[in-house]
Amino acid sequence: MTTTKIYASLNDLTKQPCNAYHNLPKDQELDVIAEIIRVRGRLILDDLTWVIANCPKLQTTEILDTFIAQKPEAHEIRTLITVCAFAQSDKMLDAYLNTNPTKQEIRLLMVSCSFAQSEKMLAALQPSNEQKKNN
């Protein structure tokens, strides 16, 4: 679990959050991660993804580092890359590939996000040398 404190207020969001967060004060800055944990009982990466995508103030390398530190699964990173242009970076693609996604998962990302249609991702779709030897 991370102890990073990342602050934002409802006024920093470009969209209204879901009903679980409807009682948040509008003008008060809150520790976003602590608030997700308070409301959900643990850090839910879907909620963190939503707030990153909908709060330009939080679109920083620090928040991406915090996200990666949670050891997300490939589909969680795919979602963030797909819904948030800021997360469309080589760093996030590397984090994605480090989860050892399936070929189908890689194709999903490439179809969902033009940024992921790169040589690096195409190379990840190629059979490994070990697989070539066994064929």
Tens digit of each residue's pLDDT (9 = 90 or more) over 87-113: 999 999 999 999 999 999 999 999 999
Mean pLDDT of the chain: 91
Q: CA dist 112 to 14, 51, 92, 127, Å?
A: 22, 20, 15, 22
**CB of 62 within 8 A of CB of 2?**
no
CA angle, residues 73, 76, 78, in degrees to nearest 5: 110
Helices (H), the chain: 32-40, 45-53, 61-69, 74-83, 90-97, 103-112, 119-125, 129-134
pLDDT of residue 104: 97
Tell me 73's DSSP state: -
Tens digit of each residue's pLDDT (9 = 90 or more) over 111-125: 999 999 999 999 999
pLDDT of residue 134: 53
The tokens for 107 are 């194709």
Residue range 61-89: average pLDDT? 97
pLDDT of residue 131: 52
Tens digit of each residue's pLDDT (9 = 90 or more) over 16-40: 888 888 888 888 999 999 999 999 9
pTM of this structure: 0.87
User: Above 70 in pLDDT, residue 135?
Assistant: no
Q: For the chain, give every domain's residue range.
A: 1-71, 73-127
pLDDT of residue 127: 84
Q: CA–CA separation, 52 vs 130, rounded Å?
A: 39
Tell me 108's DSSP state: H
Spatial CB neighbours of 40, under 8 Å, sequence gap ≥ 6:
20, 47
pLDDT of residue 3: 57
pLDDT of residue 1: 47
**CB of 27 within 8 A of CB of 11?**
yes
